[in-house]
Structures are given as C-alpha cells and as structure tokens.
Amino acid sequence: MLDQSMRAEFWQNLAVAIAATGTDEHVDRLIDMIGAVVSPDLITVTRYSATRRPEFVKHRGYSEEMVARYLETYYVFDPFYAHWRGERRTGIVPLKSLASDRMKRGRYIAEFLAQSEICDEIGVLLEDGDDWCLGIFLDRSRQPFRDADVDLLNERFSVFAALHALDTKTRQPSYSRSATPTAPGAVPANGPVIAAALWPELSARELELVELVLNGHPTATIAARLGIASGTVKNHRARIYEKLDITTERELFLHFFHRSQPH
C-alpha cells in the first residue's frame, strides 16, 4: 500500500493529469503520476505497433545515443515489442516476466540494457489507437524492482489506462504522439540486416524483401524500392510464408526475434 505522503502525491498528480488530457502535457503528467507510485532511475516512452516498427516518444534521464542505437539496431530484439506484436495485451509488464534464460543472454538484455546501465525494467503498456500501444518504461540502474512495486502499479493501472483512453479520444486522426522526424533518434537510420545463415531456405531476393518488411515498409514502398510490381511483392510474401511455415507478418517478426536469440 502507498503511505500517506505517497497517496497525497498520487492524488495531486492525478488531478494535474486529468487537467492535462488532450494537451501536449498529457504524457509528461502521466509519467509524473506513475513515478509517484514507483520511483524509477530513468524513464523511456515508446510506441509499439503490431505491424510497424516502434516510434520514440520521449525520455527522462536517458541517453540520446542509446535512443538512436535502440531505433537503429536493438528494437528487433526488444521483448516488450515482441510481447505487444504477439499478445496485443496491455497492462503492467515486468521485464522478468518476459526474460527466459535464453533471453538474458540475448542482445536486448546482455548488450542494450547493459550498455544503458539498466538492471531492471517495467513496462506500462496502454492502448494508443489502431494497433498501437504507448509503452512507458520505468528503469532501474542499481536495485531491481520488487514484487511489491509491480503490485502497486497493477493496483493503479486502471487509472492510468482510463486517463490515456480519455486523451486518445480527444485527438484528431492526424495527431502524432511520436517525436518529429527531425528529433534526435526519432527515425531509425537503418533496420535489421538479416544474415543468410539465419534463414538458409530463403533466396537472397527473399531475404532482401524480409528486411524491408521488418523495417516497417508497406507493399507499395517495397515494390518501388525493389523495382517490381505490388503483385510480385505479394507473391514473394506468400512463398516466404510458405517456406517458413507461417501465415502472418506478426509471425514473421516473432520468427525473426526467436531465431536471432543465442541458443
């Protein structure tokens, strides 16, 4: 349970957050409220899609260099991203609930979080329209989060979700919550490069197409980049899915995610 001073801070932040819905201050005030429940060392905010690559929103106390590294390289290994694409489930998601022994040796935890000097992470995943979610990530550099911290966030999650739903309803369809394309780290410069050994059953052309798919490009853009017709792209996709024994783009991403983890 929250002690009296923490409860007072929570209710104060809630009042401010309610007033901020529908304004540019919404996400910051939501962060303030969440931070009043469980204190992190730093915070990052990212949007996840079930069909497109992540978008950076903002951070507090984090490195722009590491934001750029995440968007250029590490997002494809992010277990929270895989969780959203595979489960489409909002809620409080501790890293430890996603981190198998294999995952702990993988590039997201062993490389990216280690380089970021992060020892533990909790995601607050909120519906953000269409197939998107807003992920507010609480990070600790020294001490991991306790089970009691997760319990406190779960107790308050319905409030976080209701506030964000109210904000989403007030937005115009053209509204973008993400950083502008000119902001540092806002748009990945490079996506994942697939080694031929990862999927030896695919041809070089098919691997090239898969890279573009994993980078979030739609069929029309892929066709333009490869100089082929949209129908040809769809035919390539069908053959790729048949070879990999999958049926959807979501499965393609998860297939890549699991193949890329060390055994």
Per residue in 164-190, pLDDT (tens digit) is 999 998 887 777 777 543 333 333 445
Q: Where in the chain is the domain with CATH 1.10.10.10?
A: 204-260
CATH placement of domain 204-260: 1.10.10.10
Q: Is the pTM of this model over 0.85?
A: no
Spatial CB neighbours of 151, under 8 Å, sequence gap ≥ 6: none
pLDDT at 189: 44
**CATH 3.30.1540.10, domain 4-170, yes or no:** no
pLDDT at 151: 96
Strand partners, 127: 133
Enclosing H/E stretch for 183: none
pLDDT at 53: 83
The Cα–Cα gap between 102 and 261 comes to: 7
The Cα–Cα gap between 124 and 253 comes to: 22
Q: Are 96 and 261 in contact (CB under 8 A)?
A: no
Q: Where in the chain is the domain with CATH 3.30.450.80?
A: 4-170
Q: Is the pLDDT of residue 48 over 90?
A: yes
Looking up tokens 């609480």, which residue turns up? 138
Per residue in 152-165, pLDDT (tens digit) is 999 999 999 999 99
